């Protein structure tokens, strides 16, 4: 039962990373801050696949909002297939990979380093090729992840990004803001523990959805990474075709898919995206959609057909680390309810080597 225990391990993994990972992350931030302040680093390029790519989406919002640094998601095949090395002047190149093994991700980071760009590997294997390719390494220290589906390494990747951005803010002179953000991060582990209490409700929700053959998952802003990750977990664990969209993109076309009774999960986080999600939730209600809401506000779930409430109290920028936990539990129970062993997703291996 690796999957369930790895999901349950997330509060301890987070507490360990906050405690033991911070000194190395602070040192990286101290080294990089001057290069950001001088304008030498003008943007971040992130190479990642699958679940780790969803951590990169989180980084787009956090680096953008907190440091006003644009984050570009790499197209790794440019170098691995097309042998085209981008001009990486001005970039901070980050590779995110729990295994640190996919050659296309390693090559992208290696290209950055060759060109003299600062490079960071965020990985659960500090002895991996990715770690060797990068100048700096953030070791997730999550312990072995044996289940094919990534869970604890995903939340650890998000947390590593939150710690790095907060440390950079501090090193750039925004000390008071960084102290407040760091206090919010320190409050995370018990909130993750409380989020595990959604399991019984997640099992009930899974039973409700088990006989469906398609699902849409929508999130906005900081909720978008969770929508992407939940949809991936539903596909690989439960073989349920689940399409993720940003709430904005969803209105630009996919909305035409829905009809009365269509199951749609709304990922809701208290904060700046909430009003927009209120409007979408109301509109979908008018269309007769079966709205399944995952939110930190009970009122959002009460106003929907079904849902899961995860713990309140964290700022919006940290909620992606918590909001995926009920989603992981839901996807695991969805697999079980559909008669599928979530420990053994068919056709998949723990490490996928893409070029
Ligand atoms: C999904 C999953 C995969 C991996 C992807 C990248 O649960 O595990 O999508 O996230 O294969 O793997 P790493 O992070 O090892 O590069």
For residue range 294-342, what is the model confidence (pLDDT) as tens digits? 999 999 999 999 999 999 999 999 999 999 999 999 999 999 999 999 9
> Could you read off the pLDDT of 225-235 as tens digits, one per residue?
999 999 999 99
pLDDT of residue 137: 98
Q: Is 97 in the pocket of ligand 1 (CB under 6 A)?
A: yes
Closest to 99 (Cα-Cα) out of 59, 146, 165, 163: 146
pLDDT over 80 (residue 211): yes
Averaged pLDDT of the chain = 97
What are 72's strand-pairing partners?
45
pLDDT tier, 349 (very low <50, low <70, confident <90, very high otherwise): confident
pLDDT band at 72 (very low <50, low <70, confident <90, very high): very high
Contact 130, 152 (CB under 8 A): no
pLDDT the model gives residue 350: 87
pLDDT cut 90: percent of the chain above it: 95
Task: Calculate the alpha carbon distances from 277 to 125, 255, 291 in Å.
Answer: 38, 14, 12
Sheet holding 306-309, edge to edge: 241-246, 214-219, 263-267, 290-295, 306-309
Kindly indicate the confidence band of residue 346, based on its pLDDT and cuts at 50, 70 and 90: confident
> Under a CB-based contact definition with an 8 Å cutoff, are residues 74 and 57 in contact?
no
pLDDT digits (tens, 9 = 90+) for 155-199: 999 999 999 999 999 999 999 999 999 999 999 999 999 999 999
C-beta of 51 in contact with ligand 1 (< 6 A): yes
Percent of the chain past pLDDT 70, that is, above it, reads 100
DSSP 198-266: GHHHHHHHHHHHTT-SEEEEEE-GGGHHHHHHHHHHHHHHH--EEEEEEHHHHHTTGGGG--TT-EEEE
| Residue 108 CB less than 6 A away from ligand 1 | no
Q: Give the number of other Cβ atoms within 10 Å of residue 157's Cβ.
A: 30
Whether this prediction's pTM lies above 0.85 is answered by: yes
Ligand 1 within 6 A of CB of 47: no
Whether pLDDT at 353 is above 90: no
Pocket test residue of 150, 160, 236, 344 for ligand 1, highest count of atoms within 8 A of CB: 150
């Amino acid at each position: 039962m690796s999957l369930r225990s790895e999901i349950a391990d997330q509060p301890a993994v987070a507490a360990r990373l906050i405690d033991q990972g911070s000194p190395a992350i602070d040192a990286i931030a101290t080294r990089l801050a001057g290069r950001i302040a001088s304008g030498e680093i003008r943007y971040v390029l992130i190479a990642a696949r699958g679940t780790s790519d969803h951590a990169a989406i989180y980084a787009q919002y956090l680096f953008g909002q907190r440091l006003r640094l644009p984050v570009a998601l790499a197209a790794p095949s440019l170098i691995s297939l097309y042998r085209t090395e981008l001009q990486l002047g001005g970039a901070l190149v980050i590779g995110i990979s729990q295994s640190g093994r996919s050659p296309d991700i390693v090559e992208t980071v290696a290209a950055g380093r060759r060109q003299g760009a600062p490079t960071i590997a965020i990985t659960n294997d500090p002895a991996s090729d990715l770690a060797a390719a990068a100048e700096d390494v953030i070791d997730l220290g999550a312990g072995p992840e044996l289940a094919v589906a990534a869970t604890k390494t995903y939340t650890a990747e998000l947390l590593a990004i939150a710690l790095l951005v907060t440390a950079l803010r501090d090193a750039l002179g925004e000390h008071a803001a960084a102290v407040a953000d760091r206090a919010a991060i320190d409050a995370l582990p018990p909130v993750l523990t409380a989020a595990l209490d959604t399991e019984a409700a997640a099992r009930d929700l899974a039973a409700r959805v088990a006989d469906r053959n398609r699902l849409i998952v929508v999130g906005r802003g900081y909720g978008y990474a969770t929508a992407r990750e939940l949809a991936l977990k539903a596909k690989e664990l439960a073989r349920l075709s689940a399409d993720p969209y940003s709430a904005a993109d969803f209105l630009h076309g996919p909305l035409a898919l829905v009809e009365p009774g269509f199951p749609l999960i709304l990922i809701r986080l208290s904060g700046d995206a909430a009003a927009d999600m209120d409007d979408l939730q109301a509109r979908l209600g008018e269309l007769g959609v079966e709205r399944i809401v995952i939110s930190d506000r009970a009122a959002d779930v009460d106003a929907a057909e079904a849902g899961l409430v995860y713990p309140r109290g964290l700022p919006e920028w940290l909620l992606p680390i918590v909001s995926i936990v009920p989603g992981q539990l839901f996807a695991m129970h969805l697999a079980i309810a559909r008669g599928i062993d979530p420990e053994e997703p068919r056709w998949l291996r723990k490490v996928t080597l893409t070029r």
